Structure 1
Amino acid sequence: MEHVETEKLSKHTVTKVWNVHEFCQQNQLGEKEEIRLRRLFGRFATARELLHNAKRAPKWRY
């Protein structure tokens, strides 16, 4: 077992990594968009990558 000093720990935030399938479900993206994102990133991607690359239809159009 290793003892870790709290002063030596990094204060940087951890990058959130999402499962692409779960991200698409939570953001109500269609199956085609999920397939496109999976081809682009694989099964997992950072939240920033997914948010900036997801294509969404405008909410005010039907």
Structure 2
Amino acid sequence: MDMNRVKQIVSSPADIPVYYNGVSVWIDGYDEENQMATVHLRDGRLNERRDVPVAELEEKGEAAH
């Protein structure tokens, strides 16, 4: 995924499936300068936020890189 798509997803009212290492996540925010996104698991564990490289995020149905 690229940073422009991350920004679109964060600002979208739609529920857009995003995955990190095959696990469904929510994008909480992003750091454009470092090309990182802050995510947490969709199962509700907000305390397990982590910063991950934007390039490693995938949308459902998106071809793997």
TM over 0.5: no
Richer in strand (by share): 2
Bigger-Rg structure (1/2) = 1
Task: Write 1 or 2 for the structure with the bigger share of helix.
Answer: 1
